[in-house]
A and B are shown apart, each in its own frame.
Chain A
């Protein structure tokens, strides 16, 4: 939780709001990739990229 707080504070100070959607996208799909590594879902995820 403290990470999210710190990161948003960082984005606000740097005024780099446009990075927020990219980051959310990356965290969701990145997290998904990490969780599904080596499972049957993995090939499906890889085709998205």
Chain B
């Protein structure tokens, strides 16, 4: 099925817009798209009338325009008829916001609707979902925009069984400088499911990372999912909701008792190179890193720090996550030492982590980074910056980033998240070098790049 009419809609009909209740979900959706997005939007309500001087169409078939996307926010009982009209009127696809289907025991209505859509080749998202969001392009979330933090455009695509998890993650992503290409709340996923979304997003030029929040699959669907994700040329990150072991099943064998649903899920994701985020921090770290770097690393980390303690903590985190912090060769150390300023030459420690000490200047960071980005001894750089040191300037972020751009080697920075250091942080982020606000987060970012041993 062609999902372009949904995700690249130019014309939209919102069905269920109220002429008197402007906080109705359909009205929220109509208003935001009508006023703020580059779409032509038509409101529909069987009672007719006007809204904000625009015609409220009685029926989607009355609209004198080809409709790409119908957003349906009417009562569940009416939805099959509405869909039938959409199909007849050659609408490109639908997002069904309405609830009251399989999730509340009305699987029969949902099935009727899904069968009809499948037969007609009519794609729809939902029902019982928040729909789709793409910064500056389209927004079917019935949440008033002023309540949200506007996500910035970027290359992470979010697909979620839960609308709440999706919106909350987007808000947090925004604070961490992670941009979104599209976010899709698939709700009851009656027709369009995770696999369809991966297949679609694999071909979406705006998307470089695909993230999915998953609660469960249908029979054997997990198997098809991992095979699809494994074939997808873009990194796939999953977060699993519902990990507790359903204890009701018979446990007549050791295998059945030990191979609980979540363990099986987790092990199989790993087997097929799909990165599993176990919590919000991992999710954000993985997305931020993969949004900058899609190339895999083998996990040999070079660490540059001005604080010995931060170096120690970073090494601990690396060890916990299976990343290697190799010793540097004498030749590499000499090459770095040669370019150090006189103030640190005799006191800096050149084993990995490289501890520049609190007397370090910008140029000392650059000296170490310059050698390490070219060295084969490490395949990823962690730069731990504590801006309290007097020799560090606000330009350091941009200057280190520029070095990295010359070599194809990922660099990740740690800087404390304070407004004071914003310029330093932006120096990295504007150059697509990910910045974490904790050492652990920075190491998690490196871990994300190790996702697939096969590449």
Q: Tell whether A and B belong to one assembly.
A: no
Q: Using CB atoms and an 8 Å cutoff, list the residues of chain A in contact with chain B.
A: none
Q: Using CB atoms and an 8 Å cutoff, list the residues of chain B in contact with chain A.
A: none
